[in-house]
Every structure is written in structure tokens, then in C-alpha cells.
Amino acid sequence: MAAAGQQADLLATPEVALTGEGATGEGGAPRGARSELLHFAIRNPKLVIGLSVVLAFLTLAIVGPWLTDATPFEFGYPLGEPPSKEHWLGTTSPGQDVYAQFVYGLRSSFIVGALAAAVAAVLGMAIGFVSGYLGGVVDEVLSMLTNIVLVIPTLAVLIIVSAYLSVGSLFSEAMLIGLTSWPWAARAIRAQTFSLGSRDFVSLARLSGQGTVKVIVREIAPNMSSYLFLTFILLFGGSVLTAATLDFLGLGPSQVMSLGLMMNNAVSNAALQLGMWWWFIPPGVGITAIVGGLYVMNVGLDEVFNPRLRRT
């Protein structure tokens, strides 16, 4: 009954007055909606700034290593030198090129971040969708599983596991992080699925003989696409941060340069006390900027996707 009034109110607003009961029917849904989204996206400062920062570092991660012959673990350069023409970010105490370490480290951060986020996203979606759509016993079991993994202090577990398993590669580090950071995504997706699943078009799909998987993939997921996108970005940011933390504690792969490992080395070589700012500031700035940029981008994207948050 409330829905009836809701519709009347909706139709009274201009957006639907253009369509609905008084339209000329111009433009299609995705085309019109996409260009409208783009219009707001370009004008959202948080999105633009966040995205620019992340893209800048991504470009550096891709292109940076091409601009130098040095490799991160290579010794033989002058010891502990500040930035100069030959070594743009100076050198470390044992004589490695900081710039090389930084750009290769950026690469690792992005790779681990993306991979871990992908794993967590896939797991979170699978469990969240199934749990939210099917409900009942399946939901109770999956929710219990989600809650258990959620409650476990992730960092403590990761530390212990990393210590025992001696994480050797970026891939295994990404796997570990991905397998422990999916619960909140699963819960969020489950909640959204609950609310979407009660919509009439889902019922109609069931009445048309669509099976469960088809309904999830074709009815529910496309209507949550912005939400899924936001979730992925948050997972990405979180994974980069977690990986940096693990690396900083010396629990990440030791044969692959990463920003956290750089900081670990810098601290163990007392770079702070020795005033070697070119060694510990770039990795710190890198991590902060990437993770911060991703989170700010996320807030901006939320405003773009959700008309009610926009301030026209």
C-alpha cells in the first residue's frame, strides 16, 4: 500500500516525468544512464583526485622500471647517498638503488592488491549471493562460516601463518590475504541480495522458469554492479595495506621487493635516525597515497552512483 503512494511521488518528480507516464521516450537506459553517470563523475572532485593519484602511481609502477637499468636487490652502488642525477632517489646503506626498489615495489603492491582483491571479491560474491538469495539453512550455515572468519583477528592469523609457511611469492601472499579478507564483502553483498531478491522482477524471473544461478547472475548482480565495483575498490585498498603491513613485519616474500619490505629495511638500518629521508619517505608516501586515493575515490564513486548523495 505504501508502494502505491511511493510511485505517485516518484512520478511527480521531473526525472520520471521525463519518462514514465508522460514521456517521449528518448534515449535508452544504459546509454542515457551511462552518459549521465559520466557527467557527474567528471565533476566529482573526490573521484577525480583519488583516481588521478592512483593512476599516477600505477603509471609509475608500469613505466618506472623501464627508465632505469638498476634492479632492486643489486648491490654495488655508492653507500647511503642522497638523491642525485645518477640515482634519482639516492641509495640505501648497503648500496642499492632506492628508485629501482621504489618502482619495483610499487609493481608488487599493485599486483598483490589486485590479486588479493580478486580472490576476496570472488569468494565474497559467491558466498554473499548464494546466502542472500537462497536464505534458509544454506544462509544460516554460510553466515556462520562468514561470522567465524570475520571474528578471527586477521592480522594475527596472517602473521602466524606467514611465519610458519614462509610466504615465498607474491602469489601466495595475495592468496593468504584474499582468503581472509572476504567476510565483510560477503556480508555486504548478502544484505544487498536480500533486498534485491524481494523485488518483483526477481519473482517474475522465477515464474519464467529461471534457475537459481541464472537469477543471481542475470537479475541480481547487474543491479548491484555499482555496489560490486565499490566493494572491489575497497578490497583493493585494504589488500595493499595488509600486504604492506605483512611485508613491513618481514613476513612477506623476501626475494621480491615491495614497499613494505623497503620500509622494513629502512627501519632496520636506522634510516630514520640517520636522516636518510629518501629511503623511508617514498615507500610511506606510496602506500598512503595509493590506499588513501582508493578510499577517496570510493567515496566519490558512491556519490556518483547514488543520486541522493549528490549535491547539485
CB atoms within 10 A of CB 228: 19
Q: How far apart are alpha carbons 60 and 85 in whole angstroms? A: 18
Contact between 13 and another protein by CB under 8 A: the answer reads yes
Q: How far apart are alpha carbons 125 and 190 in whole angstroms? A: 8
Binding span for another protein by CB under 8 A among 127-135, 156-164, 198-206, 239-247: 198-206
Q: Which residue among 138, 204, 285, 309 contacts another protein (CB under 8 A)?
A: 204
Contact between 3 and another protein by CB under 8 A: the answer reads yes
Contact between 154 and another protein by CB under 8 A: the answer reads no
Q: Using the minimum distance from each CB to another protein, give the nearer residue, 97 or 303.
A: 303
Name the grid cell of 123.
Answer: 569468494
Closest CA to 198 of 228, 219, 227: 219
Binding span for another protein by CB under 8 A among 64-72, 151-159, 208-216, 301-309: 208-216
Contact between 308 and another protein by CB under 8 A: the answer reads no
DSSP characters for 62-103?
HHGGGG-S--TT---SPTTPPP-SSSTT-B-TTS-BHHHHHH
Q: Are 97 and 68 in contact, with CB atoms under 8 Å apart? A: yes
Contact between 136 and another protein by CB under 8 A: the answer reads no
Contact between 30 and another protein by CB under 8 A: the answer reads yes
Q: Which residue among 59, 84, 86, 199 contacts another protein (CB under 8 A)?
A: 199
Q: How far apart are alpha carbons 162 and 173 in whole angstroms? A: 8
Contact between 75 and another protein by CB under 8 A: the answer reads no
Q: Are 257 and 104 in contact, with CB atoms under 8 Å apart? A: yes
> Cβ neighbours of residue 120 under 8 Å, at least 6 residues apart?
177, 178, 179, 181, 182, 185, 235, 239
Residues 222-251 that bind another protein (CB under 8 A): 222-223
Contact between 2 and another protein by CB under 8 A: the answer reads yes
Binding span for another protein by CB under 8 A among 53-61, 196-204, 228-236, 243-251: 196-204
Binding span for another protein by CB under 8 A among 21-29, 67-75, 233-241, 285-293: 21-29
Contact between 137 and another protein by CB under 8 A: the answer reads no
Binding span for another protein by CB under 8 A among 23-31, 45-53, 90-98, 185-193: 23-31
Alpha-carbon distances of 166 from 146, 206, 246, 252, rounded to whole Å: 26, 49, 12, 8
- The residues binding another protein (CB under 8 A) are 1-9, 11-26, 28-30, 36, 39, 199-201, 203-210, 218-219, 222-223, 312
